[in-house]
Amino acid sequence: MKTQTLNNTEEVINKTERITGSEAIIKCLIAEGVDILYGYPGGAIMPVYDELYKYRDKIHHVLTRHEQGATHAAQGYARISGRVGVAMATSGPGATNLITGIADAQIDSTPMVCITGQVFSHLLGSDAFQETDIVGISTPVTKWNHQVTKASEIPEVLAKAFYIAKSGRPGPVLIDITKDAQVSELDFQYKKCTGIRSYIPVPKTKPDAVKAAADLINAAKKPMIVWGQGVILGQAENELKAVIEKAGIPAAWTILGASAIPTSHPLNIGMVGMHGNYAPNRLTNECDVLIAIGMRFDDRVTGSLNTYAKQAKIIHFEIDPAEVDKNVKTDVAVIGDSKDSLTQLLPLLNTNSHESWLQKFNDLYDIEFEKVIKDDISPTKEGLTMGEVLKQINIETKGNAAIVSDVGQHQMIACRYADFNITKSNITSGGLGTMGFALPAAIGAKMAAPEREVVAIIGDGGYQMTIQELGTIFQQKAAVKIVVLNNEFLGMVRQWQQLFFDKRYASTEMTNPNFVAIAEGYYIKAKKVTKREELADAVKEMIASKESYFLEVCVEKEDNVFPMIPAGASVSDIRLS
């Protein structure tokens, strides 16, 4: 009899046994190596929870305080571990509450499997209590979804779900399971999915395309790399570093690509995009060859497509053919896994250095430092800045922490100023821009990597969208460090209102509660900082804590994040003030 060892348990995978659909679901999860499951019970999923109770020594269930929190926690788990995150909810509102997290995972290519309960199959379409067409609702935001109405379908469907979620370009999968499928019996046997006809998750890299890319790079006088999360998802960090160093190419990153290469690397020229660094944005429109690796030319990176890198030859390394030529026309497309493609590229590259070209980036960085960075991290003004908080966190964590940020000004500051020495260290909501992401995502990240310091950087607006997950932190004893940068505004919207709407601060000023008292109400140690002389000791105390810790830092109310590319403008039009 063949067995497979998973999570210190021995799970039979080719023995047939008569069990219920609910037990089959749990056995499928165990066979896939699931050790943590985030969810919220309810009537239509209760049989599964009953079986889960019996297997609680093999799968740890985390009761979040809202189903959205379960999806974000599963995302955080997946992003830091590289494994599939799993979330579970009941039918109706339980299922619909998953949608924001699913949509976030879809656009940010996060592997996740969501399981929802559904009413009995004979009630489908009758508007039964807590019935909703979650398959129809989730179709646009899932990589694949499926409704199970028979217990016998469960093993094959769940095997496909995990395979699809984690293969190729990862993404979320939703499996909706009717209650009769959960309580009926089946002859259970589990076989992992290793392929699906007509589904080619990783296209084979064509050597001719790699050779064409190498020829362009070798002939370039002013080459520039922009890498994205595809490098991290493809585990190609070492290959990217080798390519950059051999060819001497300045390399910039998108926010989801941050941490693939250490911040301190001399060829790491910073972040591109709306609030990215001055040099890589400006010089995008001066390079002669632009090499995009595992990124999708998002509008926040390109600005106006009519003026984006028109002088350059474009090389696009990408696993998803649908992304090639979607926004930016390429001269050479290398389709395939980033690790394999870069491995093939490396021996074809000439050893080179582009010192005068790199110096241009350094010169523009000096300008940005004098006009922006210096005042952000070492301010002379009375009020605290978000940048100096990140600087202090860098000092205490030595750049080894995983930074989980929400969405807004604090997110851009965190991405700009956090030091990243370790890959998978920048966990944030990129494409969807989901406020409320950080607190539950930090829970998932900490539970997946308990040995790492996990620091959540959150604004006072987004924090209150999922503040109830403090209860999950307390119950799970997750040692997450929470930093709320409180400017009493929805800061990013306020910045746009100041710059483009004549300071009409419509519905952006926040009257906030006593955040410290709320954290203490959840038995989490908390402190509030209002003065610069208090900051260093408070951050040091927070990082030294072996338990969860909440730190509120009151920052300047009307500070703005610069540089900034105005919406729809060219990357060349990036503003320093």
List the catalytic residues: 67, 129-130, 179, 492
Strands 172-178 and 185-188: unpaired
How many angstroms separate the CA atoms of 185 and 31, rounded?
19
Q: How far is CA 83 from CA 67, 145, 171, 506, in A?
A: 20, 19, 11, 42
Q: Is the dihedral of CA 522, 525, 530, 536 positive or negative?
A: negative
3-class secondary structure, 52: helix
Cβ atoms of residues 147 and 119 within 8 Å: no
Q: Two tokens at 372?
A: 């922006």
Identify the CA nearest to 101 among candidates 131, 67, 144, 135: 67
What letter represents residue 475's amino acid? Answer: Q
How many angstroms separate the CA atoms of 556 and 225, rounded?
35
Q: How far is CA 44 from CA 86, 92, 118, 130, 183, in A?
A: 18, 9, 5, 8, 11
Q: Is the dihedral of CA 149, 153, 155, 159 positive or negative?
A: negative
Measure the CA dihedral 539/544/549/554, to 10°: 0
Q: How far is CA 509 from CA 80, 174, 483, 494, in A?
A: 34, 38, 20, 8
How many angstroms separate the CA atoms of 316 and 336, rounded?
10
Cross-strand pairs, 90: none
